[in-house]
A and B are shown apart, each in its own frame.
Chain A
């Protein structure tokens, strides 16, 4: 299994509070991605990174920001959480950026 961990694995937070999710990899892969999974939508890309300090928006980026200060860590921040951001969040990594991705175990976030 690819060395990808996500923390926390579960979180319950209140509307309006900031939340940061962490993805950590030990594979030294260049590309990292954040997705959210919701029933009926499959997985949708939030943000991605193609190198340290190189990030860009995906299809559902509103309300989210990311940072990548070193190869192994990719942080996803919800500046002010809303109930619509209740979801399961997955981090993924890719060596060559050719579509074959390895996924972390996910973080279940509930915003009350």
Chain B
């Protein structure tokens, strides 16, 4: 079955530091890959996505590249801000058929950014 593994957290950084959150996956076929973000007390929001190998998703300064050869989708940002403090979830979905867009999530990585 499908599975997603994220790097252990929590991650604590100073403002303007470089961020990497590792994500690897196991899946059948050619899944779509996602990063979701959850701010305190809120539901999840889609941050970015990639639907095929070598695609790069980007949004709000965050980027992730779909690497089929290493089954990875690492999240990066060049300069984090205090407002980026949140929980980040990597997820995958098998498109089409009877998958019905079901998402498989990693366990989440807590990011705290200090001024």
Chain A residues in the interface with B (C-beta under 8 A): 4, 31, 33, 40-45, 48, 50, 56, 58, 90, 92, 94, 96-106
- Report A-chain residues with C-beta under 8 Å of the C-beta of B89: 42-43
Q: Within 8 Å of chain A (Cβ to Cβ): is B105?
A: yes
In the A-B complex, the 3 residue pairs with the smallest Cβ-Cβ separation, listed nearest first, are: A99-B93, A103-B43, A97-B101
- Provided the pairs A99-B95, A100-B34, A103-B43 are in contact, do residues A50 and B100 lie with their beta carbons within 8 angstroms? yes
For B71-107 the 0/1 string (1 means CB < 8 A from A) is 0000000000000000001011101100111110111
* Residue in B92, B101, B106, B107 whose CB lies within 8 Å of A96: B101
Q: Nearest residue in A to B31 (C-beta to C-beta)?
A: A99
* Residue in A40, A94, A104 whose CB lies within 8 Å of B43: A104
- Report B-chain residues with C-beta under 8 Å of the C-beta of A48: 100, 102
Whether the pair B42, A99 counts as a contact (CB closer than 8 A) is no
Most buried by B among A42, A94, A99, A103: A99
Give Cα A44–Cα B107 distance, bound, in whole angstroms.
10
- Report A-chain residues with C-beta under 8 Å of the C-beta of B100: 31, 48, 50, 56, 97
Whether the pair A105, B102 counts as a contact (CB closer than 8 A) is no
Q: How far is the CB of A42 from chain B (nearest CB, A)?
A: 4
Q: Nearest residue in A to B42 (C-beta to C-beta)?
A: A105
Whether the pair B95, A98 counts as a contact (CB closer than 8 A) is yes
Whether the pair A98, B105 counts as a contact (CB closer than 8 A) is no
Q: What are 10 pairs between A and B in contact, CB < 8 Å?
A: A42-B108, A43-B44, A45-B102, A58-B102, A92-B44, A98-B32, A98-B95, A99-B32, A105-B42, A106-B42
Give Cα A50–Cα B100 distance, bound, in whole angstroms.
7
Q: How far is the CB of A53 from chain B (nearest CB, A)?
A: 15
Give Cα A21–Cα B106 distance, bound, in whole angstroms.
25
Q: Within 8 Å of chain A (Cβ to Cβ): is B46?
A: yes
Give Cα A68–Cα B100 distance, bound, in whole angstroms.
16
- Report B-chain residues with C-beta under 8 Å of the C-beta of A33: 102-103
- Report B-chain residues with C-beta under 8 Å of the C-beta of A90: 43-44
